[in-house]
Amino acid sequence: MIDFTRSELTRFVIHYVGNKGLGEELTISEKEIKISDDFLKDTVMRYLTSPFKMDIYYQFKSKNEMHYHDVQSYITDVFTSENKFIDSSKHIAEHLYNQSMHPKIKGGEFYTCYFKDCNVDGVICDAIGLFKTENKDTYLKVFQHMDNFDIECDNGININKLDKGCIIFNTEGEQGYKISIVDTSNRIADCAFYWVEDFLNTKMKENAYFHTSNFIDTCKGFCEEVLTEGNNVTKQDQMMMLNKSTSFFKEKDKFDIKEFEKEILPQAEIKEAFREYRQTYNDKMDLTAIDDFDISPTAVKKNQKFMKSVVKLDKNFHIYVHGRHDYVEKGYDEEKGLKFYKLFYTNEDFGN
């Protein structure tokens, strides 16, 4: 859990980082911004910190001693000596500029912030925030003059939409720090990893979220690639595996592979096939098999939509099966030359 209730924004500087590949400028600021208005300070604080709430953490990758000029090095400099805040922020902005080569990367304001007394999973520590604004919204302003009104428009930042950001907490420094990352503009495939990997050089921390998400991905891949009709497994059996796996993760607080196999994989041949698939998946993804871990509700919620049992029939129908697979029958109508599903039920409800 991340809590900024008692945190304070003590240092704040803004640079402008354009797209180097397109010849845009890098504008470096020499002075920090001092915010004296309490309402403005609270607004800025809320804009920068409110998206960071989930238990998804990252860490800097293993350091290459031959390459000192990276974000981790400059962050460590500031945590070691806060007087290096301005100089380190300039170097980090330059580093971001050098990574901004893809033509679809937008230029924008780059903020470097220092926070005091942040609470991350019960640990009180300082933190450094790096944020980038890439998109502006158009706003209407209405002014009243006695009995008359004027209206005009302007461009500005929507404080409810942080484009890119990361907060590095001064804890677990030997393991690459504990880092929370936001990137709401990563849908462009060519530059999806620009913020997380190219600029920050981070990887996901191996915690409850990491292990839960990976095992759910394994279950999903096993159902889609192994439990197929080509391997003489019916669609109903595939859906049953997905539903039972989803229920297992939703109902349990802790994961144990023996318990999972007992409840979800009762057949010996299916159990062995799953073990083989899991080993292949872990080798491919360079993962170490973890057989017991705490289940992350965040990971379950984020992956739940990918674990739904949905039968897609041509482009006409979708059947969502939540349980009682014995109430679903599949057949073939020789007269019409079409496949069909037969559904048995007790009650019906016409929802919106």
* Rounded mean pLDDT for each run of 10 residues along the chain, 352 residues in total: 93 96 96 92 94 89 64 95 96 96 93 96 96 92 87 90 95 94 76 88 92 92 85 75 86 94 89 94 92 92 67 68 63 79 74 55
* The pLDDT of residue 243: 80
Residues contacting residue 150 through CB under 8 Å, at least 6 positions apart: 142, 143
* The pLDDT of residue 276: 94
* The pLDDT of residue 176: 93
* The pLDDT of residue 266: 81
C-alpha closest to that of 86 among 95, 73, 99, 77: 77
Contact 79, 128 (CB under 8 A): yes
| Dihedral sign of CA atoms 290, 294, 299, 300 in order | positive
How large is the C-alpha radius of gyration of the chain? 26
Beta-carbon count within 10 A of 266 CB: 9
Greatest pairwise CA separation for the chain in angstroms: 82
C-alpha closest to that of 32 among 85, 97, 92, 107: 85
Structure tokens at 133: 């604004």
Beta-carbon count within 10 A of 259 CB: 13
Q: Is the pTM of this model over 0.75?
A: yes
